[in-house]
Amino acid sequence: MDSPFVFSRPVLADNFVGRKNELAWLSANLLNAQHTVLIAPPNYGKKSLVMSAFLHLQKETVFKSCNLNLFNVRDEAAFYVALANALFRTLCTTSDEWTLTAQQLCVHTQPEITIDESRQNEIHLLFDESQLMSHADEILNLPETLATLKNVRVIVCIEDFQDVECFDNTPAFQKKLAEAWKAHRNVCYLLCGSRKNTMRKLFAANSSFYNFGEIIPLEPLDEKLTVDYIIKSYSKSGRVITKEFAEQVCRTVCGYPYYVQQLSHLCWLNTRGFVTETVVNKSIEDLYDYNHRLFKMITDALSPSQLNYMRAVIDGTDRFSSAESLAVYKLHSSANIARVREALEKKEIMEFGKNNKPVFVDPVFELWFRRRYMNK
CA atoms within 13 A on the CB side of 238: 3
- The Cβ of residue 84 has, within 10 Å, a number of other Cβ atoms equal to 24
Q: Measuring CA to CA, which residue among 159, 360, 362, 349 is closest to residue 259?
A: 362
Position 1 pLDDT exceeds 70: no
Q: What mean pLDDT is reported for the chain?
A: 93
Helix (H, G, I), strand (E, B) or coil at 14: helix
User: Does residue 2 form part of some domain?
Assistant: no
H or E, element range at 154: strand 153-159
CA 255 to CA 310: how far, in whole Å? 22
User: Does residue 66 form part of some domain?
Assistant: yes
83 phi, psi to nearest 5 deg: -65, -45
User: Does residue 14 form part of some domain?
Assistant: no
Give the distance, in angstroms, between the CA of residue 273 and the centroid of all CA atoms in the same chain.
36
Position 364 pLDDT exceeds 80: yes
Question: 237-262 pLDDT, tens per residue?
Answer: 999 999 999 999 999 999 999 999 99
Instruction: Give the per-residue pLDDT at 217.
Output: 85
User: Does residue 107 form part of some domain?
Assistant: yes
Instruction: Tell me the residue type at 283.
Output: S
Name the domain boundary from 257, 274, 297.
297
- Specify whether 124 is located in the same domain as 186: yes
- Specify whether 41 is located in the same domain as 183: yes
- Specify whether 207 is located in the same domain as 135: yes
Name the domain boundary from 257, 273, 297.
297
Question: 18-70 pLDDT, tens per residue?
Answer: 888 899 999 999 999 999 999 999 999 999 999 999 998 988 888 999 999 99
Instruction: Label the pairing between strands 187-193 and 214-217.
Output: unpaired
User: Does residue 365 form part of some domain?
Assistant: yes
pLDDT above 90 covers a percentage of the chain that reads: 86
Q: Could you tell me the residue range of the domain that residue 233 belongs to?
A: 223-297
- Specify whether 47 is located in the same domain as 121: yes
Question: 323-354 pLDDT, tens per residue?
Answer: 999 999 999 999 999 999 999 999 999 999 77
Instruction: Tell me the residue type at 34.
Output: Q
- Specify whether 330 is located in the same domain as 244: no
Question: 118-151 pLDDT, tens per residue?
Answer: 777 789 999 999 999 999 999 999 999 999 999 9
- Specify whether 23 is located in the same domain as 170: yes
Question: 265-296 pLDDT, tens per residue?
Answer: 999 999 989 999 999 999 999 999 999 999 99
Q: How many domains does one find in the chain? A: 3
Instruction: Give the per-residue pLDDT at 236.
Output: 92
- Specify whether 71 is located in the same domain as 201: yes
CA 290 to CA 340: how far, in whole Å? 28
- Specify whether 91 is located in the same domain as 209: yes
User: Does residue 362 form part of some domain?
Assistant: yes
- Specify whether 293 is located in the same domain as 355: no
User: Does residue 109 form part of some domain?
Assistant: yes
Q: Measuring CA to CA, which residue among 46, 17, 50, 51 is closest to residue 255?
A: 17
User: Does residue 4 form part of some domain?
Assistant: no
- Specify whether 109 is located in the same domain as 178: yes
Q: Measuring CA to CA, which residue among 303, 226, 330, 247 is closest to residue 16?
A: 226
Question: 160-173 pLDDT, tens per residue?
Answer: 999 999 999 999 99
**CATH number of the CATH domain containing 46:** 3.40.50.300
Name the domain boundary from 297, 316, 350.
297
Instruction: Give the per-residue pLDDT at 284.
Output: 98
Considering the entire predicted model, what is its pTM?
0.91
The DSSP line for 293-354 is: HHHHHHHHTS-HHHHHHHHHHHTT---TTSHHHHHHTT---HHHHHHHHHHHHHTTSEEE-G
- Specify whether 199 is located in the same domain as 231: no
CA 76 to CA 165: how far, in whole Å? 11
**CATH number of the CATH domain containing 359:** 1.10.10.10
- Specify whether 365 is located in the same domain as 243: no
Question: 87-125 pLDDT, tens per residue?
Answer: 999 999 999 999 999 999 999 999 999 988 777 778 999
